[in-house]
Every structure is written in C-alpha cells, then in structure tokens.
Amino acid sequence: MVFAGTGASIGDRNYYGQTGSTYNNDVIWRGWITNSDCYTSTTTSTDQIWNNWCSTATIACTGTTTNTIWIRWCDQTEQNLIGGYQNYNNPLGNQLQAAAAMQARSADYQAQLQAAQERRQAEEAERNTAQQAASKRAMELLRENLTEKQRKALDKHGWFLVEGGRSKKTYRVYGDRGYAGNIFELDDKRKEIARYCVHASYEIPLGDQLLAQAIYLTLDEEHLIKTANRTPMREAA
C-alpha cells in the first residue's frame, strides 16, 4: 500500500492515476477504495465512496465531499493500536505495571497458601485429638477385660500372658512393641520359642488390637495361628 507523500509511481503515472508527484488525502482514499489503477474524478460524495468501495471498475463522478471517512478510519486505527504503541514506547512503565500485577497475584497466592496451611494444621490437630481420645478409650477397655494378674504384668513388664483356648499353650502378648509380631509362644519353662505376626487394621488403636489378639487366642486360637506369620525362635527343650 502507498502512503501519503511517497509519490510512488507506475510508469509515467503515479499509482492512483495522478500525474503529479504530490496528492491529497482524498486521492489516497479514492485509490485505496478501488481496484483500478486509474481514477479520473476529483470529487466524490459520501454515497459514491461506498459505491466505489464496492466496485472494481473505474468510476467518474462529480459533486463535493470531504475526506472525513478516510480521516475517521485512520483515527480509529490509531485508537485500536495505541495500547501497543504505549507498550513499545514506554517499556519501563509496562514492566512496572506487570510487576505490580504479579506482586498482587503473588500476595493473593501467598494468602491462599497460608489459609490452606492453617486449615490443614487445624484438621491435623483435630485428628490427633480424636486419635488420642480413641487410644485412651481403647486402653481403658483392654484393662477392663484383663484379669488383675494380667493388668499387673502389663503395668510391670509391658506384656501379659494368655492361655490358648484349644492347645492350652501359653502366649505372651507384648503391649509396648506395637501390634505387629508382638505375640510369642512359650514353652514349659516360659521361654519364647516362636513369634506370631497377626493383627487387625492399622487404623485400629493399640488397646483394641491387643484385646482382639487376646480374645482370638482364647476363643479361636486355631484360626489365629493359621492366619498369623510364624517365626520359630528355638526348639523346645
């Protein structure tokens, strides 16, 4: 496209059909709106501009008009591009705006993280409180179901003895070693000869685990022994 004042020409005639080296905005507009390389009219009305824009042929016309449409088109284009020019001509201001926006987003993100962390901490504290209360109730229930001799042994040694309901063997159930691999089979001399690993879900409190083991050894010893992983320790004398 040829801009005002360039004087670009094709042969002996300029691009818009003018014989001189200069031309006004009306000439540029009329040249821009037609596909013909020759334009003979010097004046155009508003309606004719639209008709010429829609036409591909050379049109001769008379009348009076202004270049208002062309100027409006240029002004509107400048308005649409002003943002881009501002960013190009004022890079520091653009960077400062971007930095401020990023800082605002960062502050908002940090606030969200802080709120999420506080919620997690509150939820964790609530879970810990509930687990501690459950563990306390489980140990109370265990002690209620143990004999006095078993309770004294648990307090003194950290374990209690249980007699197998079927085999009449003696088992030592440790309460201070967790609930995995905490059951030991004893010989006649109360020596540990085998270890059994069998327990309920890990989510169940320790007191409930120990009570369940004791009940199974008493009421369903065979099932418990078949289910457990058995590790021999030494042969009975």
Are 41 and 65 found together in one domain?
yes
- Is the pLDDT confidence value at 5 over 80? no
- Domains held by the chain: number: 3
Q: What are phi and psi of 174, to 5 degrees?
A: -80, 135
Summary mean pLDDT of the chain = 75
Provide the whole-model pTM.
0.52
Are 128 and 154 found together in one domain?
no
- Taking residues 139-143, what's their average pLDDT? 97
In a domain, residue 3? The reply is no
Residue, of 205 and 35, whose pLDDT is higher: 205
- Taking residues 188-192, what's their average pLDDT? 94
- Taking residues 14-24, what's their average pLDDT? 43
Are 160 and 225 found together in one domain?
yes
pLDDT in tens, 90-125: 666 777 788 788 878 888 878 888 888 899 999 999
Are 137 and 183 found together in one domain?
no
In a domain, residue 4? The reply is no
Are 65 and 46 found together in one domain?
yes
Are 97 and 172 found together in one domain?
no
In a domain, residue 2? The reply is no
In a domain, residue 1? The reply is no
Are 80 and 101 found together in one domain?
no
- Is the pLDDT confidence value at 172 over 80? yes
pLDDT in tens, 197-236: 999 888 899 999 999 999 999 999 999 999 999 999 865 4
Examine the fold and report which residue of 142, 167, 182 is the final residue of a domain before the chain moves on.
142
In a domain, residue 75? The reply is yes
Range of the domain at 121: 90-142
- Is the pLDDT confidence value at 62 over 60? no
- Taking residues 175-181, what's their average pLDDT? 91
Selection from 213, 196, 87, 81 nearest residue 145 by Cα = 213
Quick one: what percent of the chain has pLDDT higher than 90?
45
- Is the pLDDT confidence value at 19 over 50? no
Are 220 and 155 found together in one domain?
yes
Are 137 and 172 found together in one domain?
no
Q: What is the 3-state secondary structure (H, E, C) of the chain?
A: CCCCCCCCEECCEECCCCCCCCCCHHHHHHHHCCCCCCCCCCCCCHHHHHHHHHCCCCCCCCCCCCCHHHHHHHHHHHHHHHHHHHHHHCHHHHHHHHHHHHHHHHHHHHHHHHHHHHHHHHHHHHHHHHHHHHHHHHHHHHHHHCCHHHHHHHHHHCEEEEECCCCCCEEEEECCCCCCCCEEEECCCCCEEEEEECCCCCCCCHHHHHHHHHHHHHHCHHHHHHHCEEEECCCCC
